[in-house]
Structure formats: C-alpha cells, structure tokens
Amino acid sequence: MTINDVLTFTEAAQRWGLDTSTLRKLVHSNRLTNGVDYRKSGGTWLITRAAMEKVYKERPLSCGDVF
C-alpha cells in the first residue's frame, strides 16, 4: 500500500460518484473495520482504496487519475 491508496472521504466520494454522507453511513453500518479500512485523522475521515473496491467494486479510471 502506498500513500495514493489512502483517500479522504471527499476524494473517494468524488472518484466513485458518491456523496460523502454515503461513506459516513458505510462506517456506521459495520461493513468495514476501523483502523484497517478507515479511520479519522483530526477532523478528516480517511478510507483505503481497497475498502472502496471491496464495497463498491473497482471503478473505471478516468483521465487525470493518479494511482
């Protein structure tokens, strides 16, 4: 895993075409593991790309994506 595999909720929501509230609901649904799939750093929620792919499947890359 590299730093590019960790996204803010805002980044992840934009890349997967979701609303950030959808990711907050996901956290509360217990489908992911805190400290492994996601965590809060200060006031910023972070989530791994692997966690997003586990729940929402791999998304197609678009121009400008850096992975």
Q: Answer yes or no: is pLDDT of 45 > 80.
A: yes
Where does the pLDDT of residue 19 fall: very low under 50, low under 70, confident under 90, or very high at 90 and above?
A: very high
Task: Look at residue 21 and tell me if it is in a domain.
Answer: yes
Task: Look at residue 34 and tell me if it is in a domain.
Answer: yes
Task: Look at residue 29 and tell me if it is in a domain.
Answer: yes
Q: How many domains does the chain have?
A: 1
Q: What share of the chain is helix, strand, coil (3-state, %, to 5)?
A: 40, 20, 40
What was the pLDDT predicted at 32?
94
Which comes out higher in pLDDT, residue 3 or 66?
Answer: 3
Task: Look at residue 66 and tell me if it is in a domain.
Answer: no
- pTM, two decimals, is 0.83
Closest CA to 15 of 57, 64, 56, 59: 59
Can you give the CATH number for the domain in which 13 is found?
3.90.105
Kindly state the average pLDDT of the residues 13-34.
94
Q: Which residues form the domain of 47?
A: 3-56
Q: Is 18 helix (H, G, I), strand (E, B) or coil?
A: coil
Task: Look at residue 19 and tell me if it is in a domain.
Answer: yes
Task: Look at residue 65 and tell me if it is in a domain.
Answer: no
